[in-house]
Structure 1
Amino acid sequence: MWINIHDAHGEIIGSYFAGSVTLEDWTEGPDLTVTAVLSCWLNVVPERSAGALWKTWSRRAPASMNDWVNLPLGQREGWIEVAQKCRKTSSPAKKDGCYVLTGTDISDLASFYCAIGEAMNGPGGYYGSNLASLDDCLFGGHGPAAPFRLVWQNSVVAMNSLSALPTHIKNKTVMDSILECFDRRGVTVELA
């Protein structure tokens, strides 16, 4: 079964898959409304902050870049989830034949994925939530496929934040892993 999220006009803007659905209770109200209680499993447990973001996006999808910047740490993961499920693609125009990633607001891994999503797919865009999904996105389907050129503006800010994050790979930072992922797929990254 698919659990659909609708916008204010009734259009489906996102979905979650639920499996092994069992109807536990069914109550009909006097105003012809129905309350159903279901038990099921979800292939993805929604991020805690996703519910509030779905309500916001159902009224107005992000129209400008960096709407995620003011979200507190821990809520940016919800932004990434909603962006992925919403599957919004409105690629920003390339500038001088390349995509531009702004590193100014990258302070944690989630903010990197928020920023790269918008760099590749415009406001509210998705382009991965971890290294494996970033690698998948580089093949296309969630925006531009590699190879391409990426100018990473204010990369020093991002580098300082991402290089300080813990990693399970000896002598390799998160920033190193991200750059290797791009390089492996033929993306030319210019750190500016």
Structure 2
Amino acid sequence: MKYLLVREDEDGVEQLWGRCAGVDGLFVDPVPLPREVLTLRGCGPDGILGDVLAGPDVSLRSLGDLCVEVWDDEQPVQWWTLVDAVVVAHQPHAADPALYDIVLGAGVRKDESFVELSAPSRFELSGGTTAAAARPSRCSAVDGLFESRDDPAPVPMELIGCEAVEPLLVGTQQPRRWARDWAELLVLDRHGGVMASRVVGLAIDGARPSVLGDGLEDITLTDGGDGRPSPAVRPVWEKWCQGPPSEPNVWAAYDAQGRAEWLELSTRAWRVPAPRPDRSGGEYHVDGRFVTDVPGLHCAIAEALLGPGRYFGREWNAFEDCLAGGFGVIPPFTLIWHDSEVARRALEDGAKDAGERLPYFEGVVRLLERRGVTVLLR
């Protein structure tokens, strides 16, 4: 069995609900959100918006996915995502020419809300894997954010060859009356270790004798959940299904999207087995031959410090957190970066350092040095 369906009971104890031989619909591209036009009012020229406002021509400038925090007088109370945000136009803010109004095209997704606000005090924006996300941009209003929207239709998932146990067994016998929240689908590698997990809906649309026979069932879940990997990264999963990587630079064969998925899978791998106490001192060597994008940089550094398939941050903020301890290695130590010019050239026009406006590679080197790491570029 390659998949386990588990759910916590009222006491927080994980209970097995079923074992499955296969899953159809684990890899899906998300249903695109409708494009909308929004206006950020009274934006300051800092954070992720700083690069936008500094350029002479910002029309059609892509910002990627933007996280929008809605604040009351004291704290954030709502979180939204502007998906694939693109700058359409900008102009000085009417009440203060030092600020700007920025028109965006984006898909809009509400992620979490504690309260509904009639008059938010401010909005904070951050985004992507850039260092600029460490210092959020602020604006006074987001026109078009609070419109009513229909939820996208859920994408189903087929569980193939399942051994269902109570209480899932009851649900498969009476699927039309079964709608029980959410569970976790654990994906096992060939050694039986958990390599990934995804949250799935437990609303069952149908159950029937399995095509695999032997008294098994094929079960249709109405909603296979959000955050499923794209079919484009299936080869990365197939590699990890063979077990945690033991050879260096296996990640280098993939493009930036595949490398980002490699980092996603490594977030579970660093916990198994449990991390040892942090060590400091010594020398570590980064193989820089394949560092041609931001995900590749984090793959290479993690591999240098902890070994193949390990985790040491997958973007700027997480990397900064890892340097503070708790992930196996902590400064001071020496990092010898071989073929460093590969990363310097590849990343010179990409993301910038939040404080000093350096290219991503330069910013990472400066961050390492500030944290007590001796960096030798070769």
Answer yes or no: same fold by TM over 0.5. yes
In structure 2, what is the equivalent of residue 139 of structure 1? Answer: 324
- Residue type at the aligned position of 1:82: L
Aligned equivalents of 2:222, 2:366: Cα separation in 1: 44
Distance in 2 of aligned mates of 1:46 and 1:86: 17
- Is 1:5 the counterpart of 2:187? The answer is yes
Cα distance in 1 between the residues matched to 2:207 and 2:293: 45
SS in 2 for 1:135: helix
8 Å Cα contact 2:353/2:360 also seen in 1: no
Q: Contact (CA 8 Å) 1:47, 1:78: kept in 2 or not?
A: no
| CA distance 1:50–1:117, change in 2 (3 Å) | farther
User: Is the contact made by 1:50 and 1:81 (CA closer than 8 Å) also made in structure 2?
Assistant: no
2:371 and 2:197 map into 1 onto residues whose CA distance is: 30
Counterpart position of 1:155 = 340
Q: Structure 1: how far apart are the matches of 2:228 and 2:317? A: 19
Q: 2:264 aligns with which of 81, 89, 106?
A: 81
The 8 Å contact of residues 48 and 78 in structure 1, kept in 2 or not, is answered as no
Tell me the equivalent position of 2:371.
Answer: 185
Q: Where does structure 2 lack aligned partners over 5 or more consecutive residues?
A: 1-182
8 Å contact 2:286–2:338 — kept in the other structure?
Answer: yes
Evaluate the alpha carbon distance shift between residue 184 and residue 41 of structure 1 in structure 2; reply closer, same or farther with a 3 A threshold.
farther
Which residues in structure 2 correspond to 1:29-178 (within 5 Å)?
29-30=209-210, 31=213, 32-39=216-223, 41-42=225-226, 44=227, 46=229, 48-87=231-270, 97-167=282-352, 169=354, 171-178=357-364
What letter is aligned with 1:184?
A: R
More helix by share: 1
State the alpha-carbon separation in 2 of the partners of residues 3 and 22 from structure 1. 11
Matched residue type, 1:69 = A
2 CA distance for matches of 1:28 and 1:142? Answer: 45
- 1:133-167 Cα offsets, whole Å, 9 max, x none, are 10111123333122222111111222121223243
- Once the two structures are superposed, residues 48-104 of structure 1 have per-residue CA deviations (whole angstroms, 9 ceiling, x without a partner) of 54443222212243221011112134321111111223326799xx9x921111212
Letter of the 1:131 partner, please give it. W
Aligned length: 186
Is 1:14 aligned to residue 200 of structure 2? no
103-112 or 48-57, larger mean C-alpha shift? 48-57
Greater shift in the superposed pair: 142-151 or 48-57 = 48-57
**What secondary structure is seen at the aligned counterpart in 1 of 2:192?**
coil
Residue 204 (structure 2) aligned to one of 24, 27, 30:
24
Per the TM alignment, residue 185 of structure 1 is displaced from its structure 2 partner at its CA by 2.1
Matched residues in 2 for 1:145 and 1:168: separation?
A: 22
Which of the pair has more CA radius of gyration?
2
SS class of match (1:158) = helix
Q: Among the aligned pairs, what percent are the same residue?
A: 27
How far is the alpha carbon of 1:40 from its aligned partner? 6.4
> Is contact 1:131–1:181 with CA below 8 Å preserved after alignment?
no
The structure whose residues are more often strand, as a share, is: 2
Matched-pair contact (CA < 8 Å) for 1:50–1:82: no
